[in-house]
Amino acid sequence: MIPRTAPAGHADVPFIQVAIASRRRPDYILTMTDNINSTFEHELKRLEKRVDALVRVCDQLQDENRSLKQRQDVLTSERANLLQKNEQVRARVEAMIGRLKAMEQGS
């Protein structure tokens, strides 16, 4: 039978304590892994919330942009109508001025 000795670097520690300590390491590693996974999941959920918020903002901006384009189209149309009416009124005023001048010269 081979005598049990402590692993290298543990000559002053009885073998049984080293064996017990080595059995705890996987639990410690699992705990660390669980903590890392938990942190990762937390960060992932935080990022997911931020992405969802960005998507909502993008949707709102698209709606606002669509609304502003429609409003711009309406205002452009109204402006064109007002310019046309302004031109008609200017032509009528010039025609009246011309008739008034003709009446003055005829008198």
Q: How far is residue 95's CA from residue 87's CA, in Å, rounded to a whole number?
A: 12
Strand segments (E) across the chain: none
pLDDT above 80 for 31: no
Which residue has better confidence, 104 or 79?
79
Structure token pair of residue 16: 């049984």
Which residue has better confidence, 93 or 34?
93
* pLDDT range class, residue 34, cuts 50, 70, 90: confident
Q: How far is residue 42's CA from residue 36's CA, in Å, rounded to a whole number?
A: 10
Global pTM exceeds 0.85: no
Q: How far is residue 79's CA from residue 36's CA, in Å, rounded to a whole number?
A: 63
Contact indicator for 14, 26 with CB cutoff of 8 Å: no
